[in-house]
Amino acid sequence: LEAPNLLKIPVLPISYHDAKPLLESLDGLVAPSAWSGSLPITYHIGGTATSKVHLKLSFDWKLTPAQNVIATIKGSEFPDQWIVRGNHHDAWVNGASDPISGMAAELEEAKAIGALVKNGWKPKRTLVYCAWDGEEPGLLGSTEWVEDHATELQQKAVVYINSDGNGRGFLDVEGSHALEQMITEISKDVKDPQTGVTVFERAKAKSVLDANSSSAKKEALGKTVYEIGAMGSGSDYSSFIQHLGVPALNIGFGGEDAGGEYHSIYDSYDHYSKFKDPGFVYGVALSKTAGRAVLRMADAEILPFDFNALHKTVNGYIKELINKTDQLRESTLLDQEAAAMNVVKLAADPKYNVKINDVPATVPYLDFSILQNALNQLAASVGLVNAHKEAQMNNALNKASLNAALYKAEQQLLSTAGLPRRAWYKHTLYAPGFYTGYGVKTMPGIREAIEQRDWKEAQEQIAVAATAIKQLANHLAAIVK
């Protein structure tokens, strides 16, 4: 009832063992290679009248409570500014990796902070530590909690710091780009447990090896900033950033712990301790990384939001969208020229009937100028705020109002109407793909309209994003008045 865009079609994940006889029974057209999976069968699309399956369905409609666990340490100076830290505790089966590896790291982190408190330390801001339930069926525990406390969170939540499954390998951080500089500093403080270098150096080395061109390799070699990724979905940060506009981070390690145990009975303690993180050293690295982020946000005189990084990131997104539209226009013109020459029919084997796709319409020129103007306005506001932060370092009264304005800045990037066809998602910069799920779509309203060739909606969403960026620019400019 609360989510009108949820489909009413029952869905049940099944194993490949159960799927194989169903797929084998299909006797329609042979599927294209891109549609074929890894089972030792010939894949078909659909079936004839002889392809039938009899299903016996049994449903359990019982309501089962989800149990979130929330622990709070009240702030000594700013009790109404909250640093929220979370990891889910429910699992599909054993859950040693997902989520217990992250949950154990969060508990050790909380234990260490508890020891500081026992020795007399008090955080300036309130710490809220959360263990979420119901994440696997759809981020239920965190989403319901966020929706129940939405007004309070938008007033008080400075940041939400998330973790989930963790393993051996490289630091991986997604989140609000205004926190990129803070993550860079932390990544240069934490040592990689396998090599002894910083986790920044190790991540940089990987980016050099992964570079697929000389220019990309040159850029990677000169990198001095840990570039955080954009947030899609798949863990408990979604409702914080994408629904409420609370700044968020998702922190973990991985890349050298690959295995087929994900969401299965094989995600056991034995498997995890032997293959995913022997010695649990990357659990310690996660505690150190996320714990540093918590402590820095909790005790910062001026909150470490750097909107230069956000401006640079959004500028990159806009250039990418313009380039994407230009390339699509060029490829469409070539497709139209090829269609006029009848190349598909001429090149096809005459023995077979070939369906010729409709020729796409010409791609119009979208007006990105309002978006670029908004970005220029943001650049000017960012410069003013940076100078103002330096000037207010020793002004206690002004610092309080400055900090409140800084952590509420992300909320200016929300659209009241939400994204097309999914109003719950309100962030104009980050969202999971409408069709792709977990994976992020940056500037999603514009990007997905372009991908669907809905040019009217694309132009409308350019205006929506421009309005949000102007709201942020005006919000930041108001700080210095």
214-245, pLDDT tens digit by residue? Answer: 999 999 999 999 999 999 999 999 999 999 99
pLDDT attached to residue 116? 98
Q: Which band of pLDDT confidence, cut at 50, 70 and 90, is reported for residue 446? A: very high
Q: Which band of pLDDT confidence, cut at 50, 70 and 90, is reported for residue 447? A: very high
Neighbouring residues of 463: CB distance < 8 A, sequence distance ≥ 6: 370
Task: Determine which of 93-102, 286-295, 431-440 has the lowest per-residue pLDDT on average.
Answer: 431-440
405 and 471 Cβ atoms separated by less than 8 Å? no
Task: Determine which of 32-41, 128-137, 202-211, 424-433 has the lowest per-residue pLDDT on average.
Answer: 32-41
pLDDT attached to residue 396? 65
pLDDT attached to residue 32? 85
In the predicted model, is pLDDT for residue 55 greater than 90?
Answer: no
The residue type of 216 is: A
Task: DSSP for 310-352, please give it.
Answer: HHHHHHHHHHHHHHHHHHHHHHHHHHHHHHHTTHHHHHS-TTS
Task: Identify which has the larger pLDDT, 76 or 401.
Answer: 76
Look at strands 125-132 and 69-73 and give their pairing. Answer: antiparallel
Share of the chain above pLDDT 70, in %: 98
Mean pLDDT within 75-94: 97
Q: Which band of pLDDT confidence, cut at 50, 70 and 90, is reported for residue 397? A: low
- Rounded to whole angstroms, the Cα distance separating 128 from 138 reads 22
Q: Which band of pLDDT confidence, cut at 50, 70 and 90, is reported for residue 2? A: low
- Prediction pTM value: 0.92
Structural element, H or E, at residue 414: none
Q: Which band of pLDDT confidence, cut at 50, 70 and 90, is reported for residue 455? A: very high
Residue listed under structure tokens 């696997």: 136
Q: Nearest-CA neighbor of 172 among 250, 234, 232?
A: 250
Share of the chain above pLDDT 90, in %: 81
User: Before 99, cis peptide (omega within 30)?
Assistant: yes
Average pLDDT, the chain: 94
pLDDT attached to residue 353? 75
pLDDT attached to residue 389? 83
Task: Identify which has the larger pLDDT, 142 or 64.
Answer: 142
pLDDT attached to residue 322? 98
Q: Which band of pLDDT confidence, cut at 50, 70 and 90, is reported for residue 259? A: confident
Q: Nearest-CA neighbor of 171 among 193, 149, 142, 144?
A: 193
Task: Determine which of 88-102, 162-176, 219-233, 258-272 has the lowest per-residue pLDDT on average.
Answer: 258-272
pLDDT attached to residue 29? 87
Look at strands 169-175 and 248-255 and give their pairing. Answer: antiparallel
Look at strands 125-132 and 78-88 and give their pairing. Answer: parallel
| List of domains in the chain | 11-59 (no CATH), 69-300 (3.40.630.10), 308-479 (1.20.930.40)
Q: At what angle do helices 180-187 and 281-299 cross, to 10 degrees?
A: 130
In the predicted model, is pLDDT for residue 469 greater than 80?
Answer: yes
pLDDT attached to residue 34? 87
pLDDT in tens, 287-339: 999 999 999 999 999 999 999 999 999 999 999 999 999 999 999 999 999 99
pLDDT in tens, 174-195: 999 999 999 999 999 999 999 9
pLDDT attached to residue 117? 97
